[in-house]
Structure 1
């Protein structure tokens, strides 16, 4: 449809589509002009949004009028920035989100000002949904796209859509089971042929504690699509060139490993000492696994016994780093549907938390007898769902704080601010993180 991302579109692109290419409505494109009757307009939007989500996805451009029904000519006239005394985009979003079940995912719309007028055009892109069919509460029907119109689906089509979603769910579950990410109660939780090879000097055979492991797995919902369609060589070059420059420490490299292994499924980066890896698959999944950057042990000076720790500030900083990289990565491979972040912890029973930020008047936790430790979970996982394009500096900080709060709860600590001061991590502490 367009050779640009949605947010990069301009009025000139809209002119080219309507006046130069003279593209009309079709299977993946619909136009709507200025609403004349609010109820009729909202009903049409609901049909279009649900039909695109239930079929093959598409664009709806609001602010383009049909001026010649026989020749199917169209003109960019725009709409008022307000609908029913409310911001147009807010009104449309509320209409769609309040009347379709389950909610339809769509990208943030692009608002384009019409030159020499006070009007706007609004472009929505709705991908095919992994949760279809979507039900229109207004008229109690399911819609699909047929040619250039949105039509009520027949019974057999509705049945096929439910089967499609069930198959998607099964594919995702089977993939997670295959990688041992599904059941944290399984003794092989988190173990793959790659993660099994992680080694660290902190937890050797002489220490009677199983080696801990941290995994951050980014899992796109559309696993059966080859979302990484770029050439393997170009893909690896992009990864190496875009591995640094992210908060909270811009000069820190997310992928500082240089040992590469290629396969039919993707590419794996390993550290030479086997202490970490970065695994990228062709289906858009990627995972980092590491140990000695986050976990260590030391002898407690008062009781002369080994204490095992997870450094929470290093963990928080690394999550922030990964989320910024992830956003850029999924933009690169043109994927912006839902992504699941799964943080997995393996062999962390009886581990303490280290690395609390400290300020004046704040308790300094140095006596490990007073610090709760994880006495409940040898392995556990934490999940968070989002779309890459929705992330910004503020949302990444909030997501990281939420994830760290859950990590701390897993280790027996109810203190969501333990590694944050005024919504920021201690960058000075984080800057000492070992490069993987």
Structure 2
């Protein structure tokens, strides 16, 4: 696996990255405070009107951002998904409210840092605010303290600001508390190129440098691969280690499985790598990850115990997990779907419907020994998972890892990114015939136990 594995989805290099200091951030915070004081000094009537407008718009945006998150989490939105387009249209309308307030006095908007920090982050990291506020991208960094890291990253990964790459690059190589988070954002947005990754190794903190080396390794960069194999901690990124090792199966079996308690998700990676010993059915009653393991293995023998688990599952999330796991194996032919759970039928009714359907199914429909999306497990049926409008992000992420590991390819992909970006990644994966042949050969070998 060489440097030709590098699939670039990276924007042009931003030159002249400046260093940020804690003092710079303090000055930005002081400027925000000053703007709020200016707003508070305005006429009471104007002030009240502006605050009410900001608060009501923020409340609406908060709800819509949650809906957008759910829409992306549920599956890749169709190009003609009216619901998804309506969400974005409503968000654009509300952005216009914040732009108008910002033009009058940014201090009317900044108090949202305390009440609706995610909404303020969404505003500050937008292309619309870019036009007249050159520090907006840097102000986004200040909100890292106000939000959970995951929420900050998810919001920034969908940000439209044109200044943001430069801001994140500056933060990544600076000695500020947000450096690691900024680096994670660059990786997640697929905006970490070789030149800047090298700069991070030379100038960034230990954690930033390590992330840069891992990304270079994933991209097939020889020095990065060598460093990860010699110095990298597999517990930090088992995926990277498995992606770059030629002896991945032997290494996983000899080095990792014997001490698997020290690692996360070892069983799942053993299943992805088709280790014969990992193909016993999981403990459906006691293993909280049984749904994921059974889904990734794709063994039709797991379907009946999964239906039984759905029948007794009390928790709504668990019910959705079992249904989605079966969907990964059986695909669109299933007579029930997650979207109808709690609407057309409850979990018990869904399980009864599924059991009758499964037991009456013609034997030739069941693709032994491994199924995906209703067909035999293959590169094409795995690509179908990424394209699915009703496959949760967790499963799409694991199937993407499966495609990379068994196809010997690395294409950056994030199931929570803009649909157009996802489609570009899926297109690149779909058109790699070498990866497809490699993947399908691996599955044929696994099917006969080699």
Place the TM-score, normalised by the shorter chain, in its bin. Answer: 0.3 to 0.5
- Compare the two structures and name the one with the higher helix fraction: 2
Instruction: Select the structure with the greater relative contact order (CA < 8 A; seq sep ≥ 6).
Output: 2
TM-score scaled to structure 1, two decimals?
Answer: 0.33
Compare CA radii of gyration and give the structure with the larger one. 1
Give the strand-richer structure, 1 or 2.
1
